[in-house]
Amino acid sequence: MNYLREFSIPYRGLSIGVHNYNWEISHKFFEAVDNSEIDDATIEVDLILEKQERMMICNFTINGSIIVKCDRCLDELELPINSEETLYIKFGTESEEEADDVLIIAESEYQIDVSRLINEFITLSLPLKKVHSSGKKGGHGCNREIINKLEELSGENKVDPRWEKLKNIKLDK
């Protein structure tokens, strides 16, 4: 059974008005969408879809937490996810993305798969640098053993003498 099938919304037979959808996201979701950055998750996604005559307005509310690898020590790191996104879906002759928050889908389509959108919203809400916060005593919240090893190895960077001689070259005439 395709796990992502539950994220397809058949809008063709949907009446004009407001419709509510709710999903619980776990590690299965990120395995199915091939998002290797996220190891596990406990996320609730609420979608309020307002269908109008020539367009749909989708209001996503995403709350929960995810588990990723720390960029510094590679231990597990839990990060909160809180996001509210609005997407306008218009009907046109062919599917295209008009803007960041406007999507045009072909009138021949009868359903929309929101799994790609949910994955995109979650991924974009992640911080660029995913590291453990500092400890109470000013140290890293990271795995101390890994940090010590990194500091030990970073001290071994000896400069090749050939590169050192290149610094003495004068290019001004």
CB 62 within 8 A of CB 80: no
Pairing of β 8-9 and β 112-113: antiparallel
Structure tokens at 138: 């000013």
Tens of pLDDT along the chain (173 residues) come to 477 889 998 888 888 999 999 999 999 998 888 877 888 999 999 999 999 988 899 999 999 999 999 988 888 999 999 999 999 998 877 776 777 788 888 888 888 889 999 999 999 999 899 888 875 554 567 888 887 887 777 766 566 777 777 777 777 76
pLDDT at 157: 59
At 113-132, the pLDDT tens digits run 899 999 999 999 998 998 88
Global pTM reads 0.78
pLDDT at 138: 46
pLDDT at 50: 94
Q: Which residues of 2-29 are buried (b: 16+ CB within 10 A; e: fewer)?
A: eebeebebebeeeeeeeeeeebebeeeb
pLDDT at 140: 62
pLDDT at 81: 94
Chain centroid, CA 99 distance in Å: 19
pLDDT at 1: 44
pLDDT at 3: 79
Determine the length of the chain. 173
